[in-house]
Amino acid sequence: MPALTIVLILVVVFIIPCVKIVPQAKKYVVERLGSYHKTLDNGLHFLIPFIDRVANNVTQKEIVKDFAPQPVITKDNVTMQIDTVVYFQITDAKLYTYGVENPINAIETLTATTLRNIIGELELDQTLTSRDIINSKMRAILDEATDPWGIKVNRVEVKNIIPPRDIQEAMEKQMRAERERREKILQAEGEKKSSILIAEGEKESAILRAEAKKESQIRIAEGEAEAILKLKQAEAEGLKLLKEAKADKAVIALKSFETLSKVADGKSTKIIVPSDLQAVATMGTTLKEVFKEDKEN
């Protein structure tokens, strides 16, 4: 019993710690007698007691580091605070373990110096409007510099750009002035469009009134022309009927006399008698004398 107990104690103390289960998205760096031996992937692994040891436990997930704001100076000598966010991933556990002391601190320091170099080449306005350029330049520089450390920089983002207070106040005044200018321009353009629409409406109204007056005059003229045409057609029809009836000169003269009588019903004080009607009057007198002689006989 004492021997079995000793064996169990030895197993618990020495053997079990040498059994390593590496989880998903993890890698273990194993040293043998103080030197790099191998990198363990996920799964079950056995180490030699007193000889092998796990030197580092490295994650394969993407790491996000939000670094504190760094003071930088622009090309036009404006000091501002800029903080950045770096997204990176460990691609080589061995290089990450032995490449640099304290890799996270090294990345932060490298990010600060790179940011100062890039911002030093830009003026204030360019710095505020060129975030994409700053991000891409920083990512390229950091990715190249961290390759020997087994680190892949996927993305770098400028989180905040904080200029001095007096610069902020000047920018706010400029922004308000720009908004007021745009507002006045929009108001003037609106008034211009309104005036144009009013003028176009008045123009169209005048054109419509002129067209309506023209149409009215045309209708009146057409009505008068049609009335004259109807009258002339009626006179022509009357003459045609008289001609077809073979009316003699006496009948025509009597018709003319009836027309003259109608004219005399008016307020006219003078009547011009056609020569034909004078002949009719003469004939009427002759007939009257003949009837009188017959009566006396």
Q: What single letter denotes the amino acid at residue 61?
A: K
What is the number of residues in the chain? Answer: 297
Question: Rounded distance, CA 148 to CA 96, Å?
Answer: 8
Determine the angle formed by the axes of helices 249-264 and 165-244, rounding to 10 degrees. 130
**What's the CA gap between 293 and 297, in Å, rounded?**
6
For residue 248, what pLDDT is reported?
52
Phi-psi region of 39 (alpha: psi -120 to 50; beta: other; left: phi over 0): beta
- What is the tens place of the pLDDT at every residue in 106-120? 999 999 999 999 998
| pLDDT at site 290 | 43
For the segment 182-206, what is each residue's pLDDT rounded down to a tens digit?
888 888 888 888 888 888 888 888 8
pLDDT score recorded for residue 62: 93
- Distance separating alpha carbons of residues 166 and 161, to the nearest angstrom: 14
The predicted structure's pLDDT at residue 11: 63
pTM of the complete model: 0.56
* pLDDT tens digit sequence for 48-73: 888 889 999 999 999 999 988 888 88
Beta carbons within 10 angstroms of residue 118's beta carbon: 20
If you average pLDDT over residues 112-135, what whole number do you get? 88
Residue 287 pLDDT > 50, yes or no?
no
Q: Given this model, what pLDDT does residue 13 score?
A: 65
**Contact (CB, 8 A) for 162 and 123:** no
Could you tell me which CATH class the domain 62-163 is placed in? alpha beta
The CATH 3.30.479.30 domain(s) of the chain lie at: 62-163
Q: Per residue in 209-224, pLDDT tens?
A: 888 888 888 888 888 8
Q: Is 82 left (phi over 0), alpha (psi -120 to 50) or beta?
A: beta
pLDDT score at 96: 92
What is the predicted pLDDT for the residue at 297? 52
Count of C-beta atoms within a 10 Å radius of residue 93: 22
- How would residue 250 be classed by pLDDT, with cut points 50, 70 and 90? low
DSSP character for 91?
-
